[in-house]
């Protein structure tokens, strides 16, 4: 039997990772170089996931787990970088697939 156990703090960290690029955009107005923005993105993700792991350790009464922090950090960096660089932009694949049928997938009400 296989069990996948991702707790709520990890999910919250990953959701917050989508908002970090907005913070980088606000703070990064003063930073003109892209390397400075990338470092800011990485630092904010490291701090945010570190605090999440600290909360988890305090709630469960355990020690701070480097492995869990690293796993959460890698996911948060992937999500933040993807949303910052615009990788989540729509590609138009759904519209192209609907156009191949020759008719709309939802009939007009009129």
Q: What is the pLDDT of residues 77-90, one digit of tens each?
A: 998 888 887 776 66
CA distance 77 to 17: 7
CA distance 20 to 66: 22
Average pLDDT taken over every residue of the chain: 81
How much is the average pLDDT of 73-79?
A: 90
Q: Which contacts qualify for 35-42: CB closer than 8 Å, 24 or more apart?
A: 41/77, 41/80, 41/81, 41/84, 42/77
Res 3: pLDDT: 83
Q: What is the pTM of this model?
A: 0.69
Please name the residue that has the structure tokens 């999440």.
52
């Amino acid at each position: 039997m296989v069990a996948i156990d991702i707790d709520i703090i990890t999910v919250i960290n990953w959701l917050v990772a989508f908002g970090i690029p907005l913070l980088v955009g606000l703070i990064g107005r003063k930073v003109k170089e892209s390397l400075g923005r990338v470092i800011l993105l990485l630092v904010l993700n490291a701090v945010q996931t570190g605090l999440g792991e600290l909360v988890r350790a305090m709630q469960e009464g355990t020690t701070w787990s480097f492995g869990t922090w690293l796993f959460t950090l890698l996911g948060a960096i992937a999500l933040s970088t993807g949303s910052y660089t615009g990788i989540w932009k729509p590609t138009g694949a759904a519209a192209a697939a609907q156009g191949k049928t020759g008719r709309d997938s939802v009939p007009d009400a009129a």
